[in-house]
Chain A
């Protein structure tokens, strides 16, 4: 089968990776700016708006992605990979830009959260269609025996997209004052997207269709009904199920634990300052990202299966010790307080709430601020703790997050090649997209919410190590996936269709 030259494939990789990275960037800035967005569009005192906020978080962000996979996957198998993933790029970029343009709830009322929800749904649909197209497009251009290496460039895009979203937000915050960022500056990361999408669109526009698909089209062997052939045919359906339960389900939870749960754990359970978490996560992602390529390349040499399964097994065994070590870095019961630096200030605000701010510093350089509000009307209190860790602890956490990113690179680096090889050309886009987005969007995407539920439940029941309970979800899912993967997946890939 004719494949693209090395020079040509770099063009393919850059065009595909840049677009996919931008789509991940677009998708993540919404999550990274969730707090600001909620104050602008979803006021908590309006139940309908708050309801839309929850829908935007769960439904649009994660649940709609498999529907995008089906819709665009079908298109990609009928009209071609190139035009389909150009459409998803424009849809994602346009939606992101428009989110940054919507007037706030104060200006246009209920229309504001409704428009945000619709645009977020479109983002989810676009993302559902993008990844499968990019992975398929690159794999179908790749020389035999190097698909793991070349598709691993696509695999870096999700992490790079997350990294760039964190950096653009940090840069915008640094350039603008806190007030300017809160008033209009939060819109900048959304507007930046349209420039990147424009450039990426122009690059993709000049690319050729995948040679494998073009050949199939010329020979008239493409599918007229990819959905029916993918899921209505028992032979293909069994591979779709195997891809989901033997690979993407476990990969999804490892990916979300290593990047999002780690972030949420440091911010909400360990109470580390948000900017400090973004910084250390950014460093860990930057150091870890090249390993996607390493493991993608290695999978061409030793097979995809054992690398992915090793990543899952390591995650299963090491998640609890890693999170225990992470938690200990901010456990102030192990630290020595410098008592003369402790300050407490109590004020009553305009609403007659009593606000007490206590600040402490410790001999190792850790600082601790607790803001306790006793509400005048509700007779309730709320406590917010912010901890700034010292440089040594920061590097400890960078290392511990980096290890988790390595697990992510092991399970995620080879998976695009694994999925595209599993299905024939005529239904490849549809068949690989669905298990990928169910595994990542549903099993992975629901991880923060399910794990937080376990933590809250354990805390309410007085479990001493309540903060580790959230890890049971990824551990159980990854364990099932590991057993299925080890027993049912063939490392020699006898069903390789590429």
Chain B
């Protein structure tokens, strides 16, 4: 199970990068640059709250997983 956790760590890091791309370019920026005020606020929340949370949070989780922080013996 420890090996699975460490391999999955790489997957979470890749996910966090993919999420960063999606949140910024597909979702956040188009909303942020929209003429609609509601969309702009929503874009700000996506770009400055949700994106860092997923990227940093999931990325760190993936890193911890990769280096074995979640292994049984720890």
**CB distance A54 to B70 under 8 Å?**
no
What would 28 A/B residue contacts be, using CB atoms closer than 8 Å? Answer: A51-B37, A54-B38, A54-B42, A55-B41, A58-B41, A58-B42, A58-B45, A63-B49, A238-B61, A238-B64, A241-B57, A241-B60, A241-B61, A241-B64, A244-B57, A245-B12, A245-B57, A245-B61, A442-B53, A446-B45, A446-B46, A449-B42, A453-B27, A484-B12, A484-B61, A487-B1, A488-B5, A488-B65
Interface class of chain B by DSSP: helix
B15-61 contacts to A (CB < 8 Å):
15, 27, 31, 37-38, 41-42, 45-46, 49-50, 53, 57-58, 60-61
A195 contacts B by Cβ under 8 Å: no
- Report how far A296 CA is from B58 CA in the complex, Å: 28
- Using A245-B57, A245-B61 as known contacts, say yes or no to A487 and B5 having CB atoms under 8 A apart: yes
- Report how far A245 CA is from B57 CA in the complex, Å: 8
A441-498 contacts to B (CB < 8 Å):
442, 446, 449, 453, 480, 483-484, 487-488
Q: Determine which residue in B12, B27, B46, B49 has the highest number of CB atoms from chain A within 10 A of its CB, and name it.
A: B49
Q: Determine which residue in B15, B38, B61, B64 has the highest number of CB atoms from chain A within 10 A of its CB, and name it.
A: B61
Which B residues lie at the A interface, using CB under 8 A? 1, 4-5, 8, 12, 15, 27, 31, 37-38, 41-42, 45-46, 49-50, 53, 57-58, 60-61, 64-65, 69-70
A166 contacts B by Cβ under 8 Å: no
- Report how far A488 CA is from B58 CA in the complex, Å: 14
Closest-by-CB residue of A relative to B58 is A245
A232 contacts B by Cβ under 8 Å: no
A59 contacts B by Cβ under 8 Å: yes
**CB distance A50 to B37 under 8 Å?**
yes
- Report how far A47 CA is from B37 CA in the complex, Å: 8
A351 contacts B by Cβ under 8 Å: no
**CB distance B41 to A51 under 8 Å?**
yes
